[in-house]
Structure 1
Amino acid sequence: MITKSIPNLFTLGNMVLGMLAILLALEGRFSLAAIMVIVAMLLDGLDGRVARALNAQSEFGKELDSLSDLISFGIAPALIMYMISFHSIPSGVAWAVTIIFPMCGALRLARFNVQKGAPGYFIGLPIPAAGGVLATLSLFYREISAPYFVVSMMLLSYLMISTVRYPNFKKIGLPKKAIAYAPLVVIIAVVIAVVFPDQMAKLIFIPLVIYAAYGLRQNINRLLRRKHRDEEDADAQEMFRPKR
């Protein structure tokens, strides 16, 4: 019974960090708030691996994970972006964009829970990646103007509910012996993040953006290949069509 509860502790830790991110954002400590989202991503990546290593997967854990993800990677990043970057745009636009992001995240999580994805892929940008990009992107508010943030936020929202395929790294297993060291890894990550919040957040931003852009590029390439095949088929049909 205790063994089966261990993965849920990581999931609840994910939720706690999401709530801390919200509280820190309300206090204006945006860099640390973004870091809480990033560390929550680490816990989110560990809970499933720990569950599989301990053979402790359950529907309860799956639903708890979705609820935690919505807080940590949907609501928290949207609030961080709203509070740090949306002061210079009309409040109606700011409210709408801020609401749409977690709403699309909820749709993405619900779809993931009821539909099987392609083997080795996620369908749509996973909400932890979208939330991580948004939380770290917000820290560039000195270099980027608010309209660009609005466009980026809407694009991330769309990618979550799209059919774009993204590589699934969750199947990478965790040795059972390594579970004992998982809390230590989390503690070290938190310490480093707290000591160097700005540097850590902006450094992590780069691979997250590459991941988000990779799936989009793959989808564009797939659409172009499909269009090329359709054009070839149309040309072939035209060639063999009887002439009057």
Structure 2
Amino acid sequence: MNTAFEIVIAEDNPRDREFLCASLSQYKLHVANNGHEAYLLTKNIKNPFVISDLQMPGCNGIELAKMLWKEKPTARIIFWTHYQDEIYIRSLSSIIPEETVYGYILKTNTTNQLLKAVNMVFSECQCWIDPLIRPVQKRTKQSQQTISDLEFEVLTDIALGLTDDMIANRRYLSKRGVQSRLKSLYAKLEIEHDRISLSPFGRKVNYRSRAVAIALQRGLINPVELASAEEELMDWFNS
């Protein structure tokens, strides 16, 4: 295992940060409390190696990756997180450069698994994806099930409680355009074949509410991201 390279750590939780520093003590480490600090630390590193949490105040792991890969597409990032949500896998898949190598490991893993991921991504130049994440990643790559950006917008809007008229106004759509996107969203979430919809009371199921329930179960949306989306909605209300 090559331990000669430097690693930038982006982690806001003190306990998790201590765990990383102890587990990776054989490497030269640069530690940051958020994505922005980590980004500044990579400025003078030609091909940065980064381990980053996903959710951090100010600048999260996905925002860090966007900034870093825009300037240095060969930078290698291991995302180290508690989140298995499809929303994050989906967000990452849209920004990962073709030429880069990256990793995704859950914080529930042991030190040995963390070191294995570090060695695989940073030393052997191979992607390392947590086994629990692979089924989610596979689903995001299947075109028939992949939620488009436009469908994701309308999913977020109905989760926030917006009516068709409000969505049309916010997204500059006709009401028919909103309904078309909802229909496409329902099809990709397979609501008609969902066990609730196939039950004796299936005809009475509200597809709008069911879409939100399925999206929450799949991790397409979560409370953290909905809170952020609600702030954006309030800005729109006040604009």
- Structure scoring higher RCO (CA < 8 A, sep ≥ 6) equals 1
Q: TM-score, normalised by structure 2?
A: 0.31
More helix, by proportion: 1
